[in-house]
């Protein structure tokens, strides 16, 4: 039987990290002996443990060390290893696949941060290996790799920092992974408003990712007012949100339903096509604003306030609007450009764009998923980032309450 | 091949009744010939049709006539037939099973209304058969029948009136059987408020059927204010709504969660038990109000305003409160007592009590089901009354918006 | 008050078309008088009506005639009108927006079919207007239009044929728009199998649109066997279904979970990235099959059987696989290429691809949506084609039962 | 600042108990110092910790000690305290409210088990306090208490044993609290079958709690065969399951739908009323079997195999059947009678009866909730016992697969 000793540091008891690591060793057929453990005497103190991991053979030991490495169990320090990419858009064999947790690589005796970090990427090393001070490491998606790029392989010399435990006295912590609808939601929304104020005060950005139900339900008014008041720094959406917002601006309807009365309009189901056609004729959304064709709504507010947005295409789109990026890889890259500096991400009433954004966000970003369907929220959290909170409610109610809370004096 | 001619009268085209009747004849293996049809030239005019129903044998013909009879297809008039109940709580063989549509029985040459009407009952005839003027007919549930009671058997001499078509220009009609969440709900709730004003103006009653999520989500404040303002005339609920309301009044928590902060309270999960225990010690809810133990909340408002309520027991109850009727048949009967005169029924965040109430309501009562889970609303409408409208949303949002709309000047 | 007389022909009573048309006239503020009505005496006979539509002004009358025109109410015959497209990808003002119902345009005294038909398109006229015999009409999506193309404007000379009523004795008709889970699903699946046999016997194609849950739940085995047995003629999916299928083929896992034991595999969450990387290295799925890298699974079966597939990209994709069409407009067009000849479409466990496919299908294609979430099925049917049937169940159960039914002798 | 030292023993690291206790101290405003901690070196070894809990005042300290006591943190040993019940059905002030975890009370220097244990009860002490050997303790629901009964008050001298950690290599552990539908469910059902074999081999009982969807979907066949094969030891249900099962036996329909063809039967919606009426006439289900009126189905199998069942009434019942216990408190008590000895509880397609049963089960019983609606499963687990596993799937699929697995040789 082979063994190797790993160390675990940080809030490993109250973040449940120690328990998880011990469970994973057993789950993958290994055994363990705790060599030494020191538990912080107060909440402020961190803890540490030294664990002897045992396995039947080298392959199993390697597997276990890899798995627990992703929860912060660090092996005796050796330098990170890399290999050249064999072709454009292809990682070398044995590439290290990233998580969205803070990650470091060991080089020249120091730990170099992987910046930016993003899940399901490789780690690209750049700079002169002979000069560690100038070496940098970044998570890079597969399609961006060029032949010959140096990409990290194996686990040695890679360290991830477990997600800090949630502050048990914070309002968010009550939500946990709970997606129950039977909670007072006003309180949760008030906490979101407070977090948005903190994010803005810290000079970070607020990201809103939204689906067309925001327009269909009449919540567009609230979102528009949030944008005009400067609360939203970047918006990710699809053709549908922008189209129905413009439909509402031009015809007063959303998917053919009059937003102010709930009545189906005559010719209503065609309004979204006529809206798209009009913007195509104008040349784009900004042009439509400049030509005074578009004078109200979410998209108008974004243009007027110079808030950047990414409209990503999908195969269910009609038209689409000229501003829609129809290539999904390009659209992802444009979304990536806006990720740095985001402090809170609100994912509202869209499964597709929420999962896509969750894939790009570092675990350190406060992330809230809002949907009226518990199943959707569960799916998001299953796939997405474990840092996400779920709120099962109407986007109409959420946006209206949020706007009301942010209009109040802080 | 046998045949019999039936007549259909009323808004049989725009209520889809004619289509349904023709479909049902085919579905049950028969054939038809339309002898005569007259379609109203304008919306105000009713239509009528005379249909020759054909079947292979007498049993099949009887089946078809029965099925289409439940949609208003009336056979050549003959008197209603009855048989004595063979035992207490048992209907005679071949008893006529009611729908919740307006129903009449033919006797002595005139049509006598079945009052009250309720689905899944038998029709009890009382009075002197020799004196049709004094004869009366009522829908009676199985358990109330006494040995020897005269109960209608067969379909002959029974006529039901199809549900009037929904006014296509009414706001409610947009909802249809649609349970989509992607509609502007504020508009629907405004329509509910208008309907409540109409109901009150007509001297009818507003029934609220509610589940404990009303308290858990903080919506109890809104419901309490509606009761104090006189909008609610009768409330049906279970042990849970009353218990968590009293828990909130006594401890500020609901299911142990502080309603004002969302934080779990110390000892919180026991609060509902301590609340029940306190009311049991006091002798009941009214006594607790009189002893100034209970000074706020939904139940307090009901007592103060003298609004009647029925708390029906269920097997998941703790305690229960002394006011809970633990026998389900007795509880049903107490609910039945309050049905006459109801103009609108709001079924909010409870599957059990909503289905139970739906079973008791005549089809002529405006019925709205509100739940955050589309599946629940679908189940309600599958089982319940076809007149029901579904609204998939938070009860927190619904109650708050409704209270806001009803506080406004009409 | 203005008026115009329209005619309605076909199964207008049992398809509820007459009722709908009368309702729509009132809903849009008009009035009507029924000039003449003839109701078919038996099921085989069609009915017809002549209706005088009244409105306050010309604009309102036009609106009403347009709306009821989409349900088959035909105006006194005049030729279709067209206008040239003002720019590439832009329809002329007032363009006629299509439904997915069978549609005809009037030209030179005859009705020319619009082929293919697709909802939310314009109608492109081609051929010599002086020679009606050579004129053809086709539904064309906005992005395909070229400057100067002749596109139909207004409603005059356009006729749509209402969807034929569902045969009330057909198994499918029991499903209706009902998405209840409380039905015997084996029976429904048996009906689907029978319909597939009919489709194949008629020389039509079976389309399967699937999400990755097919692989995650272990249903891939059933789908693979259906493909190998020749039941599937074309498959639409995304990067995820193909990736997880290949992950299962290469590593025995799906999203890192061992498909045969349910246990999470070591390194499992990275397997899908390694699978994509391997296929990118090979150059594509076909190449991976030819190189004997990929030897089993859904994608292998498609390649071996030469069954065409379209993998459409989305912004949540990792990689993606080289076979994925990342441009959404191109992907739509490739899907369009496969629509002609489809007799039944099975949309299984994917919202995005199901809605996208629903947008492309003529109403005459039997369409079944299968999802474990009632809300998803409701959304599909809200947006999608009204001809669709919903089945709320596990894709695992659905695929397994379907494969079992199709293995039996017919 | 006050403080008191508590001890924690057992699998407190891998069951996350230590983390939870530390979190709870902070959450309730206290502070802690870890005096001593010993972590087991291998999985077999237990761990222990001594924690100094600090609080601002005595009331806060008492609250914290109470809360962490419910996770096993034991105070320096003192004897349990009790007070007499002030009235029939009323606990004394400050009564100890039970959890469903194994619980002991300290008396005369030894720990006496609370048997049976049930959540949300009080602890009744019986026997001579002067003779600890004869003292016994039992969880008793509020309604069963008689005036003067000795009931435990306060936390002193009460110890609960934290739930043992789930074996990470067990199949069940993969399910966790996860209610995702995207898992291979055949594997989970195979694990359930294995657990049922273990339970039977250990001489324990299998409890099936079921809703009427079992009959509506056609799964009744599978349940009937499981009962006849001896797999089910006790069944809890309501009027609906029994009624529709008998409807199926007498008429071949369930809620009026023909179970074998899916077609709505003529007169179908009345069949369940006629079924109830027939059983009422016979005097009960057993009598109907004896009179050869009822010759097949679930209820017939239960009677033939002498498997006990509890049919609990609810306010939505028609009839009900004579076997239904209409008083909810009596029905609960009858269910309680069957709890001892149960090894596994299967809660299938019923929210009401599942939550009611969850309230009665000790945490040591393997509990599986099966429902097609994720929201229902979430609600069950929110309220119910934390030991419960959720499976989101059709009951039709679940019952059929389970029956297939149990028919195989083990």
Q: Do D27 and A178 touch (CB under 8 A)?
A: no
CB contact under 8 A, C187 and D393: no
DSSP state, A233?
S
Mean pLDDT, range B375-401, rounded to an integer: 77
Given D142, D356, D373, which is nearest B276 (Cβ)?
Answer: D142
Q: Is D127 exposed, middle or buried (0-12, 13-18, 19+ CB in 10 A)?
A: middle
Task: List the domain boundaries for chain C.
Answer: 2-160, 171-407
Best probe of the C interface among B168, B175, B183, by most C CBs < 10 A, is B168
CATH-assigned architecture of domain A1-76 = 2-Layer Sandwich (3.30)
Name the residue facing B328 among D266, D317, D355 (closest C-beta).
Answer: D317
pLDDT of residue C176: 45
Vertex C227, ends C226 and C232: CA angle to 5°? 95
Residue A171's pLDDT is what? 52
Q: Which residues of C touch B351 (CB under 8 A)?
A: none
Superfamily name and number for B171-407 = putative lor/sdh protein like domains (3.40.50.10690)
Domains C2-160 and C171-407 fall in the same CATH topology: no
Which pLDDT band, with edges at 50, 70 and 90, does C174 fall under? very low
What span, in angstroms and rounded, lies between the C-alpha atoms of C71 and A239? 29
pLDDT score for D43:
67
d(CA D248, CA D246): 5
Q: Which of residues 299-328 of A touch C (CB under 8 A)?
A: 312-320, 326-328
Residues of chain D positioned with their CB less than 8 A from the CB of C216: 182-184
Which span out of B92-101, B191-200, C279-288, D27-36 was modeled with the highest average pLDDT?
Answer: C279-288
CATH topology of domain C2-160: 2.40.420
What pLDDT sits at residue C31?
86
pLDDT reading at C266 higher than 60: no
Q: Which of D174, D185, D261 sits opposite C394 (nearest CB)?
A: D185
Residue D319, token pair as written in the block: 């009839």
pLDDT in tens, A109-119: 888 999 999 99
Q: In this predicted structure, which of A29-43, C134-148, D279-293 has the lowest mean pLDDT?
A: A29-43
Q: Name the residue with tokens 């079997």.
A: D289
Q: What percent of chain A has pLDDT over 70?
A: 87
Tell me the DSSP string of C94-138.
TBPPP-SS-EEEEETTEEEEBSS--TT-EEEEES-TT-GGG-EEE
Cis-peptide, bond into residue C69, ω within 30° of zero: no
Distance from the D280 Cα atom to the nearest Cα atom in chain A, whole angstroms: 40
Contacting C residues, span 80-109, partner chain A, CB-CB under 8 Å: 86-87, 89-91, 95, 97
Note the pLDDT of residue D27. Answer: 77
Residue D293 at interface with chain A, using a CB cutoff of 8 Å: no
DSSP codes joined into one string, B170-224 = SHHHHHTT---S-S-HHHHHHHHHHHHHHHHHTT-EEEEEE-THHHHTTTHHHHH
Q: CB distance D180–A14 less than 8 Å? A: no
For residue C292, the Cα-to-chain-centroid distance in whole angstroms is 35
What is the mean predicted confidence (pLDDT) over A183-211?
Answer: 92
Residue in chain A lying closest to B394 (CA): A393
Chain A with chain C: Cβ pairs closer than 8 A: 142
Q: Dihedral angle at the C-alpha atoms of D113, D114, D116, D118, nearest 10 degrees?
A: -140
User: What's the pLDDT at A174?
Assistant: 46
The contacts of residue A133 (CB under 8 Å, 6+ apart) are: A108
Confidence band (pLDDT; 50, 70, 90) for A262? low
Q: Does A329 reach chain C within 8 Å, measured CB to CB?
A: yes
Optimal mutation site among C166, C187, C263, C402, interface D, most CBs of chain D within 10 A:
C187
Task: For residue A168, give the nearest of D15, D23, D379 by CB distance.
Answer: D23
Chain A: residue whose CA lies nearest to D168: A27
Identify which has the larger pLDDT, C238 or C48. C238
Which residue in B32, B169, B378 is closest to C179 by CB distance?
B378
Q: Tell me which of D132 and A349 has the higher pLDDT.
A: A349
Q: Across D169-268, where does the E strand assignment appear?
A: 205-210, 234-238, 253-254, 257-258
CATH code, residues B77-165? 2.40.420.10
* Of residues C274 and C132, more confidently modeled: C274
Structural element, H or E, at residue B355:
helix B351-360
The mean pLDDT of chain B is 87
- Residue C383, chain B, CB below 8 Å: the answer is no
The model's confidence at residue A167, banded by pLDDT at 50, 70 and 90, is low
What percent of chain B is modeled with pLDDT above 70?
Answer: 87
Q: Do A356 and C315 touch (CB under 8 A)?
A: yes
Taking contacts as CB-CB distances below 8 angstroms, the residues of chain B near A181 are 213, 217, 372-373, 394
Put simply, the answer to whether C262 touches D374 (Cβ < 8 Å) is: no
User: What would the mean pLDDT of A28-44 be, rounded to a whole number?
Assistant: 78
**Ramachandran angles phi, psi of C407, nearest 5°:** -80, -25
* Chain A residues within an 8 Å CB radius of D14: 19, 22-23
Q: Could you tell me how far CA B176 lies from the centroid of its own chain?
A: 17
User: What percentage of chain C has pLDDT greater than the value 70?
Assistant: 87
**Are A145 and A85 spatial neighbours (Cβ–Cβ below 8 Å)?**
yes
Checking DSSP bridges between strand D47-55 and strand D2-10, what pairing results, if any? antiparallel
D172 near C CB under 8 A: no
Interface of A with D in 5-24 (CB under 8 A): 13-16, 18-19, 22-24
Q: Which CATH architecture has domain D1-75?
A: 2-Layer Sandwich (3.30)
Residues C181 and D394: beta-carbon distance below 8 Å: yes
Peptide bond into D320 cis (omega under 30): yes
Q: Are A179 and A390 in contact (CB under 8 A)?
A: yes
pLDDT at C177: 42
* Cβ <8 Å between D379 and A180: yes
D269/B97 touch (CB, cutoff 8 Å), yes or no: yes
Give the residue ranges of chain D where pLDDT is below 50.
168, 174-179, 384
Domain A79-165 has CATH 1.10.10.10: no
Cβ–Cβ under 8 Å, residues C321 and C293: no
Pick the range with the lowest mean pLDDT from B235-239, C379-383, D8-12, D104-108: C379-383
Q: Residue A325 pLDDT > 90, yes or no?
A: yes
pLDDT > 60? residue C240 = yes
- Pairing relationship of beta strands D257-258 and D253-254 according to DSSP bridges: antiparallel
Residue of A nearest to B175 (CA): A262
Of chain B, the percentage scoring pLDDT greater than 90 comes to: 53
- What is the pLDDT confidence band of residue C288, given thresholds at 50, 70 and 90? very high
């Amino acid at each position: 039987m082979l063994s190797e000793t790993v160390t675990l540091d940080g809030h490993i008891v109250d973040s449940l990290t120690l328990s998880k690591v011990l469970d994973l060793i057993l789950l993958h057929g290994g055994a363990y002996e705790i060599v030494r453990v020191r538990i912080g005497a107060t909440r402020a103190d961190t803890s540490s443990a030294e664990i002897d991991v045992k396995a039947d053979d080298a392959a199993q030991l390697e597997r276990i060390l890899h798995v627990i490495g992703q929860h912060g169990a660090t092996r005796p320090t050796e330098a990170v290893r890399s290999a050249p990419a064999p072709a454009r858009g292809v990682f070398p064999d044995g590439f290290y696949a990233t998580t969205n947790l803070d990650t470091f690589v060991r080089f020249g005796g120091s730990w170099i941060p992987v910046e930016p970090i993003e899940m399901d990427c490789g780690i690209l090393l750049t700079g002169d290996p002979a000069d560690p001070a100038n070496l940098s490491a970044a998570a890079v998606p597969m399609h961006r790799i060029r032949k010959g790029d140096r990409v990290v392989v194996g686990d040695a010399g890679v360290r991830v920092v477990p997600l800090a435990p949630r502050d048990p006295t914070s309002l968010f912590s009550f939500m946990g992974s709970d997606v129950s609808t039977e909670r007072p939601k006003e309180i949760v929304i008030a906490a979101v408003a407070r977090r948005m104020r903190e994010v803005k005060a810290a000079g970070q950005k607020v990201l809103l990712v939204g689906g067309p139900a925001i327009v269909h339900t009449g919540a567009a008014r609230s979102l528009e007012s949030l944008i005009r008041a400067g609360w939203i720094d970047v918006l990710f959406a699809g053709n549908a949100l922008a189209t129905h917002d413009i439909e509402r601006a031009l015809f007063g309807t959303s998917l053919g339903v009059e937003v102010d009365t709930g009545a189906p309009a005559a010719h209503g189901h065609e309004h979204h096509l006529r809206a798209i056609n009009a913007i195509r004729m104008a040349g784009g959304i900004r042009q439509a604003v400049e030509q005074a064709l578009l004078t109200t709504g979410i998209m108008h507010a974004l243009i007027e306030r110079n808030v950047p947005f990414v409209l990503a295409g999908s195969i269910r789109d009609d038209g689409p609007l000229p501003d829609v990026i129809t290539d999904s890889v390009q659209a992802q890259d444009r979304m990536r450009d806006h990720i740095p500096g985001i402090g809170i991400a609100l994912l509202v009433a869209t499964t597709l764009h929420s999962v896509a954004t969750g894939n790009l966000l570092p675990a350190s970003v406060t992330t809230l998923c809002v949907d009226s369907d518990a199943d959707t929220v569960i799916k998001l959290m299953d796939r997405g980032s474990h840092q996400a909170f779920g709120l099962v409610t109407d986007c109409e109610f959420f946006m209206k309450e949020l706007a009301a809370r942010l209009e109040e004096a802080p």
